[in-house]
Amino acid sequence: MSPVNTRRTSTATNTGSTAAAVLAQLHRRSADPRRRILFTGAAIVTMDPDLGILDRGDLLVEGTRIAAVGRGLSTEGAVVVDATGTVLCPGFVDTHRHAWQTQLRRIMPDVDDLGGYVAATLAGHATVYRPEDMYVGTRLAALTAIDSGITCMLDFSHNSRTPEHSDAAIEALLDSGIRGVHASMGPHFGDWDHQWPGDLARLKDRYFSSDDQLLSLRVAALATDEIAGPALAYGPELARTAAELGVGVSVDAVFGTPSSQAVLRWAEDGLLSPGVTLIHATGLTPQAWRAMADCGSTVSLAPTSDAQIGLDSAVPAVDEALAVGIRPGLSIDVEVALASDMFTQMRTLHAIQRMRAVNAAHGTDRRPARITSLDVLDFATLQGARTNGLQAVTGSLTPGKKADLLVIRAEDLNNMPLNDAVGTVVLGCDARNISTVLVDGEPRKWNGRVLGVDLPALRAQVAASRDHVLNARKS
């Protein structure tokens, strides 16, 4: 089949027949495991320290993987996409989101503390969720993630009331086409089957039998027993479960003195490792941070959650992490009160850290220790992949890794002219600028539209699920 060459009519910016024609070519060749897609003429931000940034380059996808990055790559046998006027970068990686809640978006935009969130959501709405509500909320979160350039999302699914609830959450990730990490935990409150964590073995056998697939599994837990009792708190039993399954652990609600004491206890007991992610990590002691670094544990920051809801110190712990050599991943957390995109997380962290750095040096002759836009993009991509245990799979445009990537229009009204590719991605963009999203080499968003979604049907499902949850709570 002859290649399609669209150098003079870019599918990255064209809204007419050219983009549709190239997509049709890709669909016709979808069964070919060596299907080749060549993006040409883009500014390429690889996030690979050896490859760096190409001001104008080409990227070749073959099958599910990135085959080559460079200049003047051969078009032979490839569907060619003219990406002139765009930035190519890795897909963003969300390291912690409670996806099942998504039909309750912004229902409590001004929640003032963790207790208010827990009482309304975990002790309230969560208790009336059916498996179909788990499916709807999780699928909506995953599709929204794709729309905003997140190609990998860790779903901290802590409402697994029955095996069917877990199945529904996993199947929603499957149906969305995202690179999903299902982190499973039992619910905090209300009636449930108490099948967790025993049910994790069934889930692994049914859904996670291969190491080369879109979905992966982790154990989810809380840092301490203060909120929901000891059964959900990380310790020797859950560490043993994770080791037997061969999966990582994501620990949420890591706050303050009690969590600092827990971290030191885990380190002494050999329960911390690179496979353990600590989420939030606000208000921890220097001793806890040193123990985390010494054990190689990863950290997931939730910039808007920490600052807006006011979790412990309310200051995202980026300085504390960097001081001990931990480069964190970033996360969305809860859409009941927060934005759902990674651009917001990057900008929030960038602004807060730089504000603190300048404030700390104000009135002295010290130079502020400020992070950069490249730092926060690294956190949102490569470090996020490492935090999710997928650093060999995604997070950078490195040949051999899976083709999880974004094509971002850099000549749109809010971005033109393209002067700095990283600055444009971090400080200029939003979901409307994302022309194309590939996950595992498969187009999931094309010419600005998420593919395979019946929006009227989805809208009706989301509204019906939301109404059930709210009405059931009133009865």
Q: Are residues 250 and 339 in the same domain?
A: yes
Question: Are 30 and 137 part of one and the same domain?
Answer: no
In a domain, 475, yes or no: no
Do 137 and 168 belong together in one domain?
A: yes
The residue-averaged pLDDT of 435-443 equals 98
How many domains, in total, are found in the chain?
2
Decide if 473 is inside a domain: no
467 part of a folded domain: no
Range 35-48 average pLDDT: 97
- CATH code of 334's domain: 3.20.20.140
Is the pLDDT assigned to residue 284 strictly greater than 60? yes
Mean pLDDT calculated for residue range 132-153: 98
Q: What is the mean pLDDT of residues 193-208?
A: 98
Which whole number is the average pLDDT over 87-97? 98
**Domain membership flag for residue 212:** yes
Secondary structure (DSSP) of 232-284: GB-SHHHHHHHHHHT-EEEEEEEEHHHHHHHHHHHHHTT---TTEEEEEEET-
Residues 144 and 189 in one domain: yes
Question: What does the pLDDT read at residue 9?
Answer: 38
**Domain match, 131 and 182 both:** yes
Considering the domain architecture, whether residues 252 and 200 belong to the same structural domain is answered as yes
Do 214 and 84 lie in one domain? The reply is no
Asked if residue 137 and residue 63 are part of one domain, the reply reads no
Q: Given this model, what pLDDT does residue 136 score?
A: 98
Task: Identify the CATH number of the domain in which residue 42 sits.
Answer: 2.30.40.10
Residue 12 pLDDT > 70: no
- Report the alpha-carbon distance of residue 286 to residue 269 in Å, rounded: 19
Mean pLDDT of 216-239: 94
Domain boundary among 345, 362, 387: 387
Region 23-45: mean pLDDT is 93
Of 387, 406, 431, at which residue does a domain stop?
A: 387
Among 335, 356, 387, the domain boundary falls at 387
Statement: residue 437 has pLDDT above 90: yes
Task: Give mean pLDDT, residues 35-57.
Answer: 97
Q: Are residues 82 and 106 in the same domain?
A: no
End-to-end CA distance of the chain: 62
Residues 98 and 246 in one domain: yes
pLDDT band at 473 (very low <50, low <70, confident <90, very high): confident
Tell me the percentage of the chain whose pLDDT exceeds 70. Answer: 96
Whether omega before 3 lies within 30 degrees of 0, making that bond cis, reads no
Q: Is residue 456 part of a domain?
A: no
The reported pTM is 0.95
Percent of the chain predicted with pLDDT > 90:
91
Dihedral of CA atoms 183, 188, 192, 194 in degrees, nearest 10, equals: 60
Query: How high does pLDDT run on average in the chain?
Result: 95
Instruction: Please determine, for residue 10, whether its predicted confidence score (pLDDT) is greater than 70.
Output: no
Give phi and psi for 292, each to the nearest 5. -60, -45
Q: Say what the pLDDT of residue 116 is.
A: 93
Mean pLDDT value across residues 317-330: 98
Please, which pLDDT band fits residue 79 given cuts at 50, 70 and 90? very high
In a domain, 8, yes or no: no
Residue 474: what pLDDT?
A: 76
Closest CA to 382 of 361, 365, 397, 367: 397
* Domain-embedded: residue 45: yes
**Domain ranges, residue 201:** 92-387
What pLDDT is attached to residue 15?
44
254 and 152 in one domain?
A: yes
Are residue 78 and residue 130 in the same domain, yes or no? no
Residue 92 vs residue 9, higher pLDDT: 92
pLDDT at position 17 is 64
- Alpha carbon of residue 10 to chain centroid: 29
- Helix, strand or coil for residue 99? helix
Residue 462 resides in a domain: no
- Cβ(287)–Cβ(264) under 8 Å? yes
